C-alpha cells in the first residue's frame, strides 16, 4: 500500500531542514523534522548535504511517497515583469524572451519559473524567479543519488506563503489584508495572502524577500520594507495589520505598530503547525521548519506550481515510468515470442528435410519389393527374404550391434572422434556441421595453417576422405570449410 506521507526539504547553501507530514485526515500532521548542516566540514558539498538528509530519514524510518524541495532565496533571483498576454499558455511560451529582454542577459543558463499576480486587457503582471541551471542540476543529482527524487523545486517564499495560507490565514484576515513578516538569520520574507479564499477566484499572493545584515536594526528595516510591500497591493488596499516572527527575537512589535500605524503582534510558527514539543529541539530555525512544511504541502496544491524543475528537468512521474516499463516489457515479450517461433519453425523445417531425404534414400531400396514387381511366387519369396533381411539389419543398427559406415550416426561418430584427437593441440573452433545422407559439411577455424593441415590429416586417418576443401586466413585465424565422406 502506498504511503500517505510527504517529505518537504528546505535547502540553503550549507544547511537543510526536512519535515515529514502525514496527509491522512483533514489537516496534515507533523510526523517529525530535523535539520542538518555541512558548515563545519572541510569540504562542504551539496552531495554531502543530501547524504545527511537521507541518513536522517533512514534513522527515523520515514516512509513517504513524494518529495518536494524549497530553494533558499540566496540561490535564486526575483523579478517583476509585464507580459502582453493574459493566457497562461501564451505567457509560458514568451516569458523567457520577456525576461531576457528585461534583464539584458542570456537566459539559456538559467531555469525560470513564474507566477501571474494580476491580469488586465493590456496584459499581465508577473513575478519571475530565475536560478542557475548548474546549481539546480547539482542539487537534483545529489538528491537522486539517495533516491530522493523531488516532484518540484520551488522558491522558499512560495512554500512559506503556502504554509501561512494553510495555517495562519482566516477569511477575516484575507479580507482585511494582513501582512506577514518572517525574519530568519539572514533573510526577510514579506507576504500578503490573496484577498479571496475561493480557489476559483483567488490570485497570487504578494511576496517579497530581502537580505538582513547582522548589525542592522531589524525593527527599522522591517518597517521600511513592510511599507513598500503594503503599497504594492492595489486590490485589497493597505494592510490593516502585521503579524511578525523574528528568529532573533529582536523586533519590538509595539514600536513597529507605532511606526507602521497599524496593529502588530507576534506569532508562533510551531504552534500554528500543530507541532509537538520535540520539534523546536529537532529544527534549527522555525522559519526553516515552516518553509519545509510548505514544501511538503506541494502535493495538494491545485493548478500550476512555481516550479523550477518543470523548466530544466521535468519530473517524469510514477505513471510515466510505469508506462515506459510496461512498454519495454511488451516489446521484449514480443521479440521473445518471435524468436521462439523462428526457432521451432527452423526445427520443423529441419525434421521435414531429413524425412524427405530418408524417403528419397529408401525409395530405391523398396522399389524392388513393391507390388508392381511381384510378378511370380519366386520373386515374391525373394522380396520377402530381402525385407526380412533389411528389417533385421535396421533393428541391429538401432541396438548398436553393428556399425554401418554409411549411416549418419557412423559418419558423425568418425568426425567427432577425429576432432577429439586434435582439438586441444590445434585451437580448433567448429562453427557449423551439416549432415546429409551422402556426406558432412564442416566449417570452422584454427590458430594456424599448420594446425589446419594437421586437422585434415587426422580426419583422413580416421576412415574419412575429404571430398572438397576450402580455406582462407581471416583476422589471424585459418578459416576452413570441408566436405567429408566415408572412404569407399
- CATH number, position 433: 3.30.70.60
Q: Are residues 423 and 442 in the same domain?
A: yes
pLDDT digits (tens, 9 = 90+) for 1-13: 456 789 999 999 8
Residue 139 Cα distances to 38, 75, 279, 485, angstroms: 14, 11, 26, 72
User: What is the predicted pLDDT for the residue at 198?
Assistant: 45
User: Is residue 54 in some structural domain?
Assistant: yes
User: What is the predicted pLDDT for the residue at 23?
Assistant: 74
Residue 356 Cα distances to 52, 351, 363, 397, 468, angstroms: 73, 9, 10, 21, 25
Query: Rounded to an integer, what distance in angstroms lies between the CA atom of residue 457 and that of residue 465?
Result: 10
User: What is the predicted pLDDT for the residue at 134?
Assistant: 93
User: Is residue 445 in some structural domain?
Assistant: yes
Query: Rounded to an integer, what distance in angstroms lies between the CA atom of residue 118 and that of residue 201?
Result: 12
User: Is residue 80 in some structural domain?
Assistant: yes
Q: Output the furthest CA–CA distance in the chain (Å, rounded).
A: 140
pLDDT digits (tens, 9 = 90+) for 62-120: 998 889 999 998 899 988 898 999 898 899 899 999 888 888 778 888 999 998 888 88
User: Is residue 161 in some structural domain?
Assistant: no
User: Is residue 125 in some structural domain?
Assistant: yes
What CATH code is carried by the domain that includes residue 182?
3.30.420.40
Is 230 in contact with 192 (CB distance < 8 Å)? yes
Q: Are residues 384 and 413 in the same domain?
A: no
CA 165 to chain centre: 33
Domain boundary among 367, 398, 429: 398
Domain boundary among 398, 428, 460: 398
Q: Are residues 385 and 425 in the same domain?
A: no
User: Is residue 109 in some structural domain?
Assistant: yes
User: Is residue 118 in some structural domain?
Assistant: yes
Domain containing 245 equals 169-266
Q: Are residues 65 and 196 in the same domain?
A: no
Q: Are residues 446 and 350 in the same domain?
A: no
DSSP string, 11-79: E-SSEEEEEEEE--SSSPEEEEEEEEE-TTSSS--HHHHHHHHHHHHHHTT---SEEEEEE-GGGSEEE
User: Is residue 164 in some structural domain?
Assistant: no
pTM: 0.63
What CATH code is carried by the domain that includes residue 11?
3.30.420.380
Helices 46-59, 133-145: crossing angle, 10 deg rounding: 40
Within 13 Å, how many C-alpha atoms sit on residue 42's CB side? 0
- Tens-level pLDDT at each residue, the chain (488 residues): 456 789 999 999 899 999 999 876 566 788 889 999 998 888 889 999 999 999 999 999 999 888 999 999 889 998 889 899 989 889 989 999 988 888 877 888 899 999 888 888 778 989 999 999 999 999 999 999 999 999 999 999 999 999 988 888 765 555 557 889 899 888 889 888 765 444 434 456 788 888 888 788 888 888 888 877 777 665 555 677 888 998 888 888 888 888 777 788 888 888 888 887 788 878 878 999 999 999 998 887 666 688 999 888 888 766 566 677 888 888 889 998 898 888 888 888 888 887 787 777 777 666 655 555 544 455 456 656 766 776 676 676 666 555 454 566 677 777 777 777 777 787 888 888 887 777 888 888 888 888 888 888 888 887 788 888 888 888 888 898 888 888 76
Q: Are residues 102 and 180 in the same domain?
A: no
Domain boundary among 336, 367, 398: 398
Q: Are residues 129 and 10 in the same domain?
A: yes
Count: domains in the chain: 4
Q: Label the pairing between strands 477-486 and 464-474.
A: antiparallel
Query: Rounded to an integer, what distance in angstroms lies between the CA atom of residue 300 and that of residue 49?
Result: 27
User: What is the predicted pLDDT for the residue at 8?
Assistant: 94
Q: Are residues 18 and 96 in the same domain?
A: yes
Query: Rounded to an integer, what distance in angstroms lies between the CA atom of residue 257 and that of residue 243?
Result: 10
Closest CA to 221 of 195, 194, 244: 244
Q: Label the pairing between strands 66-71 and 29-37.
A: unpaired
Q: Are residues 201 and 307 in the same domain?
A: no
Q: Are residues 100 and 115 in the same domain?
A: yes
Q: Are residues 68 and 199 in the same domain?
A: no
Q: Are residues 24 and 128 in the same domain?
A: yes
Amino acid at each position: 500500500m502506498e504511503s500517505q506521507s510527504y517529505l518537504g526539504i528546505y535547502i540553503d547553501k550549507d544547511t537543510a531542514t526536512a519535515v515529514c507530514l502525514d496527509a491522512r485526515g483533514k489537516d496534515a500532521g507533523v510526523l517529525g523534522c530535523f535539520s542538518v548542516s555541512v558548515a563545519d566540514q572541510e569540504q562542504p558539498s551539496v552531495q554531502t548535504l543530501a547524504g545527511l538528509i537521507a541518513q536522517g530519514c533512514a534513522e527515523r524510518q520515514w516512509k513517504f511517497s513524494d518529495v518536494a524541495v524549497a530553494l533558499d532565496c540566496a540561490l535564486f533571483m526575483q523579478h517583476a515583469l509585464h507580459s502582453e498576454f493574459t493566457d497562461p499558455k501564451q505567457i509560458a511560451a514568451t516569458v523567457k524572451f520577456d525576461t531576457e529582454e528585461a534583464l539584458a542577459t542570456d537566459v539559456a543558463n538559467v531555469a525560470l519559473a513564474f507566477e501571474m499576480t494580476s491580469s488586465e486587457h493590456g496584459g499581465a503582471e508577473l513575478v519571475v524567479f530565475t536560478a542557475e541551471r548548474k546549481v539546480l542540476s547539482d542539487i537534483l543529482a545529489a538528491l537522486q543519488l539517495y533516491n530522493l527524487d523531488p516532484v518540484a523545486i520551488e522558491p522558499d517564499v512560495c512554500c512559506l506563503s503556502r504554509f501561512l495560507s494553510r495555517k495562519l490565514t482566516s477569511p477575516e484576515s484575507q479580507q482585511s489584508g494582513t501582512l506577514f513578516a518572517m525574519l530568519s538569520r539572514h533573510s526577510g520574507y514579506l507576504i500578503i495572502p490573496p484577498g479571496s479564499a475561493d480557489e476559483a477566484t483567488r490570485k497570487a499572493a504578494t511576496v517579497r524577500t530581502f537580505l538582513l545584515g547582522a548589525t542592522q536594526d531589524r525593527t527599522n528595516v522591517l518597517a521600511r520594507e513592510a511599507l513598500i510591500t503594503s503599497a504594492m497591493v492595489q486590490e485589497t488596499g493597505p494592510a490593516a495589520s502585521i503579524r511578525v516572527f523574528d528568529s532573533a527575537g529582536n523586533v519590538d512589535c509595539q514600536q513597529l505598530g507605532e511606526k507602521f500605524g497599524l496593529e502588530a503582534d507576534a506569532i508562533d510558527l510551531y504552534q500554528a503547525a500543530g507541532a509537538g514539543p520535540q520539534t523546536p529541539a529537532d529544527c534549527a530555525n522555525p522559519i526553516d521548519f515552516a518553509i519545509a512544511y510548505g514544501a511538503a504541502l506541494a502535493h495538494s496544491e491545485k493548478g500550476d506550481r512555481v516550479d523550477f524543475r518543470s523548466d530544466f528537468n521535468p519530473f517524469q512521474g510514477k505513471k510515466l515510468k510505469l508506462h515506459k516499463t510496461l512498454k519495454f516489457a511488451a516489446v521484449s515479450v514480443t521479440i521473445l515470442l518471435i524468436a521462439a517461433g523462428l526457432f521451432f519453425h527452423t526445427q520443423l523445417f529441419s525434421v521435414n528435410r531429413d524425412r524427405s531425404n530418408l524417403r528419397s534414400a529408401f525409395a530405391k531400396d523398396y522399389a524392388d519389393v513393391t507390388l508392381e514387381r511381384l510378378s511370380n511366387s519366386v520373386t515374391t519369396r525373394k522380396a520377402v527374404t530381402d525385407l526380412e533381411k533389411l528389417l533385421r539389419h535396421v533393428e541391429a543398427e538401432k541396438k548398436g550391434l553393428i556399425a554401418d559406415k554409411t549411416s549418419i550416426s557412423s559418419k558423425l561418430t568418425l568426425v567427432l572422434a577425429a576432432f577429439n584427437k586434435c582439438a586441444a593441440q590445434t585451437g580448433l573452433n567448429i562453427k557449423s556441421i551439416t549432415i546429409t545422407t551422402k556426406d558432412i559439411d564442416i566449417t570452422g577455424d584454427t590458430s594456424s595453417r599448420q594446425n589446419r593441415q594437421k586437422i585434415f590429416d587426422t580426419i583422413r586417418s580416421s576412415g574419412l576422405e575429404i571430398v572438397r576443401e576450402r580455406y582462407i586466413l581471416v583476422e589471424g585465424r585459418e578459416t576452413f570449410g570441408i566436405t567429408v565422406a566415408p572412404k569407399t
